[in-house]
């Protein structure tokens, strides 16, 4: 497929710090069209996979690094990617903008921990133009909250309205045991700062057998008491972590059944196109989500794809198949090869995933960690 006149000219001043200050070219020069032309690309066909699902949601892992080492996510001693393999912030902007030009309406930056990537605010700042122009409905992030106190105000200023914060327990010792390196007071201060800045927070908690399974009522009352939704997540078999998944795996069907003994859980029709199903807790009035990739198939409404910090596009969180977008991104100033690679990849988006955790499948279903693909 040909996309003529879609040339990319790197920002006049190179370097990540310059990203937020880019001077966009006025007028269209066929040979040297700036990234602005991606933003204004009129009439490009929206991405649709072979099963007719529109791709409107892109999750981008901006780094594989993290200041925590959560037991279900990473091994204690991880080797991270060499920095040279990572897409620069400018490349990430160009990649995101290419997807926005093709119909993506929601962007979530994740990781690893997105807020430990140096200069990350310049990427938020530069992507905020897509909100201002109306090409994007939402710019958001998933974070462990450790740096939120520092960045909450800036995120708000860059158009972020909602933030997902991962927090599995309110017990400081357990928190340290789960995250290995994290500090609960820092995360709670981050949540306070984010709420004070006017950001809406959703809490994500991974359900871990024998670790936080007795804490869900407390988490519900705390989150809902502060006006935050809570979503519980089943452990997914991603990456070698040095511990058996069977020991961690707690089916949310069981959690839900137990919670129903204490609360009235009313099904609500709130859907995100993702694996979460929501109920309203009658006693608190708050929303409670269940992300159950293992016990419930959510693929039929899947509207999302994921890009890693090295520019690898995964069409499905639960499949190995991927496409390299860094090569076409770096090969040419023209966006044609990039669009062609994206189109080709989306035409291979599978119908669904094959996660299995059982006694016959002790190995991770996928070798890559969640911190690589982005949660």
Ligand X SMILES: C[S@@+](CC[C@H](N)C(=O)[O-])C[C@H]1O[C@@H](n2cnc3c(N)ncnc32)[C@H](O)[C@@H]1O
Residues at the site binding ligand X, with contacts judged by CB under 6 A: 66, 72-73, 110-111, 113, 142-144, 166, 204, 206, 233, 235-236, 238, 370-371, 375
Spell out a b/e string for 259-277, using b for 16 or more CB atoms within 10 Å of the CB, else e: beeebebeeeeeebebbbb
Q: Which is nearer to ligand X, 187 or 315 (CB)?
A: 187
State the number of binding residues for ligand SF4 (CB under 6 A): 12
Query: Contact letters (x/-) for ligand SF4, 10-49, by CB under 6 A?
Result: ----------------------------------------
Element housing 131 (H / E): helix 120-132
Q: Phi/psi at 208 (nearest 5 deg)?
A: -120, 120
Which residue number places its CB atom closest to ligand X?
375
60 contacts ligand SF4 (rule: CB under 6 A): no
In terms of Cα–Cα distance, which of 112, 90, 97 is closest to 239? Answer: 112
- Which of 49, 93, 113, 168 contacts ligand SF4 by CB under 6 A? 113
Stretch in the footprint of ligand SF4 (CB under 6 A) among 20-28, 106-114, 270-278, 290-298: 106-114
Rounded CA-CA distance 13/139 in Å is 25
Q: Which is nearer to ligand X, 7 or 71 (CB)?
A: 71
Rounded CA-CA distance 52/49 in Å is 5
Dihedral angle of Cα 133, 121, 272, 307, to the nearest 10 degrees: 100
The strand ranges marked E within 272-320 are 276-281, 287-291, 304-307, 312-314
Q: Which is nearer to ligand X, 90 or 234 (CB)?
A: 234
Q: Which is nearer to ligand X, 335 or 371 (CB)?
A: 371
Partner touching 74 among ligand SF4, ligand X, none, CB below 5 to 8 Å by kind: ligand SF4
Footprint on residues 253-282 left by ligand SF4 (CB under 6 A) = none
Partner touching 204 among ligand X, ligand SF4, none, CB below 5 to 8 Å by kind: ligand X
Rounded CA-CA distance 162/142 in Å is 9
Footprint on residues 153-192 left by ligand SF4 (CB under 6 A) = 166
In terms of Cα–Cα distance, which of 326, 301, 374, 315 is closest to 350? Answer: 315
Partner touching 365 among ligand X, ligand SF4, none, CB below 5 to 8 Å by kind: none
Q: If 0-12 CB within 10 Å is exposed, 13-18 middle and 19+ buried, where does residue 176 land?
A: middle
- Site of interaction with ligand SF4 (CB under 6 A): 66, 68-70, 73-74, 111-113, 144, 166, 371
């Amino acid at each position: 497929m040909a996309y003529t006149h879609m040339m990319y000219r790197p920002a006049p001043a190179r370097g990540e710090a310059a990203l937020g200050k880019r001077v966009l070219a006025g007028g269209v020069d066929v040979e040297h069209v700036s990234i602005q032309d991606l933003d204004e690309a009129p009439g490009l066909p929206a991405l649709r996979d072979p099963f007719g699902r529109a791709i409107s949601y892109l999750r981008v892992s901006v780094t594989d690094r993290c200041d925590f080492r959560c037991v279900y996510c990473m091994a204690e001693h991880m080797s991270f990617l060499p920095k040279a393999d990572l897409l620069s912030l400018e490349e990430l902007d160009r990649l995101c903008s290419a997807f926005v030009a093709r119909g993506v309406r929601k962007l979530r930056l994740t990781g690893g921990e997105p807020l430990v990537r140096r200069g990350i605010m310049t990427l938020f700042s530069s992507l905020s133009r897509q909100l201002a122009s109306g090409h994007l409905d939402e710019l958001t992030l998933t974070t462990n909250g450790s740096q939120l106190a520092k960045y909450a105000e800036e995120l708000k200023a860059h158009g972020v309205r909602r933030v997902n914060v991962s927090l599995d327990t309110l017990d400081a010792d357990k928190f340290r045991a789960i995250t290995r390196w994290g500090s609960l007071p820092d995360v709670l201060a981050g949540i306070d700062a984010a709420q004070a800045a006017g950001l809406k927070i959703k809490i994500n908690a991974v359900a871990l057998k024998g670790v936080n399974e007795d804490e869900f009522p407390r988490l519900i009352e705390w989150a809902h008491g502060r006006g935050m939704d809570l979503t519980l997540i089943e452990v997914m078999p991603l990456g070698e972590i040095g511990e058996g998944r069977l020991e961690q795996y707690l089916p949310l069907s069981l959690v839900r059944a137990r919670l129903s003994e204490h609360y009235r859980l009313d099904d609500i029709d709130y859907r995100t196109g993702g694996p979460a199903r929501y109920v309203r807790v009658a006693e608190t009035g708050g929303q409670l989500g269940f992300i159950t990739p293992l016990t419930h198939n959510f693929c039929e409404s899947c509207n999302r794809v994921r890009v890693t910090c090295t520019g690898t596009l995964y069409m499905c969180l639960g499949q190995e198949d991927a496409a390299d977008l860094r090569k076409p991104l770096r090969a040419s100033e023209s966006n044609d090869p990039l669009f062609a690679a994206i189109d080709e990849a989306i035409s291979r988006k599978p119908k669904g995933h094959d996660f299995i955790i059982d006694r016959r499948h002790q190995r991770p279903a996928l070798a890559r960690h969640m911190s690589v693909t982005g949660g």
